[in-house]
């Protein structure tokens, strides 16, 4: 797979993830689940074909699961910033 095509596929997964976050924030839980399911389908398609795309998608689905398991906020961006701050404090 060419680097351009790989970047295009990553962008599609990234957009689906952002759409899932937006739908979840708006209370459209079925739409959010559908978007994450689409990412999972892409991950399944890349298994054994392109390990970079496979692991990119796996990391997105793990990130989604970690977000859903926490109870502090329903705003993904706020949660992600908090996670980054915690990582920076731990590294200091």
Q: How do residues 22-47 score in pLDDT, each as one tens digit?
A: 999 999 999 999 999 999 999 999 99
Token pair belonging to 22? 């937006």
**Among candidate residues 59, 42, 36, 60, the one with its CA nearest the CA of residue 6:** 42
As a whole number of angstroms, the distance between CA 59 and CA 79 comes to: 16
What pTM was computed for the model?
0.85
Q: How do residues 49-92 score in pLDDT, each as one tens digit?
A: 999 999 999 999 999 999 999 888 888 888 888 888 888 888 87
Q: 3-state class of 65 per DSSP?
A: helix
């Amino acid at each position: 797979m060419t680097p351009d095509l790989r970047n295009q596929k990553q962008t599609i997964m990234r957009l689906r993830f952002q759409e899932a976050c937006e739908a979840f924030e708006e209370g459209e839980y079925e739409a959010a689940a559908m978007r994450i399911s689409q990412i999972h389908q892409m991950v399944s398609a890349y298994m054994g074909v392109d390990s970079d795309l496979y692991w990119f998608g796996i990391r997105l689905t793990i990130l989604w699961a970690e977000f859903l398991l926490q109870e502090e906020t329903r705003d993904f961006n706020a949660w992600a910033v908090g996670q980054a701050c915690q990582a920076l404090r731990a590294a200091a």
